[in-house]
């Protein structure tokens, strides 16, 4: 059975992915550094079901320590594919702490790539972001767009730099790579700093919802299990092909305006939202909109979850969490 190393395995997307890969029959090695961006206990809860699985092993590793830390954690484990999800996330915080984002998302990724090269691990699924498209006026966003002048946040810059690094390693060292640009993933276990999670908490507490700008900004919200399905298909694709270097969008192909999202969250919670308009935040983009035709053609990717259904699943999960 193939073995997959998942970095960032204790996070929102990573924990769902590990469950999917185990269900698909893989052996899964998980790595996480429990970055303090949000509470460690939430990530440990994400891991709780995985730790009992006989084909799952967990290793706490700080990628910024370099290959030595990885060699200590995985001295001889057979690894067929690496799924690199670990990153410092968030556009707004990256504007305040750009160096931390470059260290975690560029330097740490380089350490991982060097370790893979030394271990002759030749297949990588790299998690990029829709933020690399910035405010590109042409929509929907296609993977072949010129993005060198598009990025408008350190987070976006760090993700585009990651893609450029993966191409360098493909070109020089024959690394097979699938870069995937994720589009506003939501669902159970979503990070507490993200909009939908915040909106549900505020509505339940009887508070107003902050609306940055006039409410017309829009995001291509993608349910987490749809994104995970795309990653799992990508892993299978990498295992079945050589000489691969591809970049794909994993989105839902439908931008949802902010005001529409807020009212949909209100419907899921059963509360009519009160709105509090505020200025736009630095680094935010106006619209994200994925052209998913390449992922459909390459992987058979097709999102299945509607926004109302996905929000209902998130609200049910959030309601079940301890205070």
CATH, residue 103: 3.40.50.720
Residue with tokens 């159970």: 188
In a domain, 268, yes or no: no
pTM over 0.85: yes
Strand, helix or coil for residue 262:
helix
In a domain, 203, yes or no: no
- Determine the Cα–Cα distance for residues 260 and 209; give it in Å rounded to an integer: 13
At 83 the pLDDT is 98
Point out which residues pair with 84 in neighbouring strands: 7, 126
**Residue ranges of E strands in 33-163:** 56-60, 81-84, 123-129
Domain count, the chain: 1
Rounded to the nearest 10 degrees, the angle between the axes of helix 224-240 and helix 12-23 is: 50
* Domain membership flag for residue 275: no
- CB neighbourhood size of 280 (10 A): 12
Note whether residue 15 is domain-resident: yes
- The mean pLDDT values, 10 residues at a time, for the chain of 323 residues are 97 98 98 89 94 96 92 92 95 93 97 96 98 93 92 95 98 98 97 92 94 92 98 98 98 95 97 92 85 98 98 95 76
CA-closest candidate to residue 81, choices 201, 195, 240, 204: 240
Range of the domain at 227: 3-184+223-251+290-303
State the DSSP H helix or E strand holding residue 256, giving kind and residue range, or none if neither. strand 256-257
Which of 55, 61, 65 lies closest to 26 in space, CA to CA? 55
Backbone angles phi, psi at 135, to 5 degrees: -100, 40
Residue 46 phi/psi, 5-degree rounding, is -60, -35
For residue 29, give Cα distances in angstroms to 26, 79, 165, 203, 276: 10, 8, 23, 38, 44
Distance CA 164, CA 152 (A): 17
Alpha helices, H only, 135-223: 154-173, 195-204
Q: Per the domain annotation, does 155 fall within a domain?
A: yes
* Contact status, residue 63 vs residue 115, Cβ threshold 8 Å: no
**Which residues are the active-site residues?**
155
Question: Using CA atoms, how far apart are residues 56 and 151, in angstroms rounded to an integer?
Answer: 37
The answer to whether residue 83 is domain-embedded is yes
Region of residue 287 (phi > 0: left; psi between -120 and 50: alpha; otherwise: beta):
beta
Domain-embedded: residue 33: yes
Q: Is residue 207 part of a domain?
A: no
Locate 120 and state its tokens: 């002759």
């Amino acid at each position: 059975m193939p073995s997959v190393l998942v970095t960032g395995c204790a996070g929102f997307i990573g924990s769902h992915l590990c469950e999917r890969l185990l269900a698909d029959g893989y052996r899964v090695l998980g790595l996480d550094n429990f970055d303090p961006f949000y509470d460690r206990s939430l990530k440990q809860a994400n891991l709780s079901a995985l730790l009992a699985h006989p084909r799952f092993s967990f290793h706490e590793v700080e990628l910024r320590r370099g290959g030595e830390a990885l060699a200590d954690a995985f001295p001889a484990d057979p690894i067929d594919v690496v799924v690199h999800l670990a990153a410092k996330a968030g556009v707004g915080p990256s504007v305040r702490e750009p160096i931390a984002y470059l260290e975690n998302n560029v330097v740490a990724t380089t350490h991982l790539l060097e370790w893979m090269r030394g271990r002759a691990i030749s297949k990588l699924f790299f998690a990029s972001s829709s933020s690399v498209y910035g405010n590109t006026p042409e929509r929907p966003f296609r993977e072949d767009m010129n993005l060198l002048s598009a990025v408008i946040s350190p987070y976006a810059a760090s993700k585009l730099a990651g893609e450029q690094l993966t191409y360098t390693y493909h070109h020089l060292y024959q690394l097979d790579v699938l870069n995937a640009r994720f589009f506003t993933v939501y669902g159970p276990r979503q990070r507490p700093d993200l909009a939908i999670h915040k909106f549900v908490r505020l509505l339940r507490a009887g508070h107003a919802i902050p609306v940055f700008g006039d409410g017309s900004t829009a995001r291509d919200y993608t349910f987490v299990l749809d994104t995970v399905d795309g990653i799992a298909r990508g892993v299978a694709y990498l295992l079945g092909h050589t000489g691969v270097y591809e970049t794909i969008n994993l989105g839902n192909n439908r931008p949802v305006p902010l005001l529409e999202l807020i009212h949909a969250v209100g419907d899921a919670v059963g509360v009519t939202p009160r709105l509090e308009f505020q200025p736009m935040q630095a680094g935010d983009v106006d619209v994200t909109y994925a052209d998913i035709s390449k992922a459909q053609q390459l992987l058979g990717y097709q999102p299945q979850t509607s926004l109302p259904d996905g929000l209902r699943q998130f609200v049910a999960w959030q309601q079940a969490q301890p205070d």
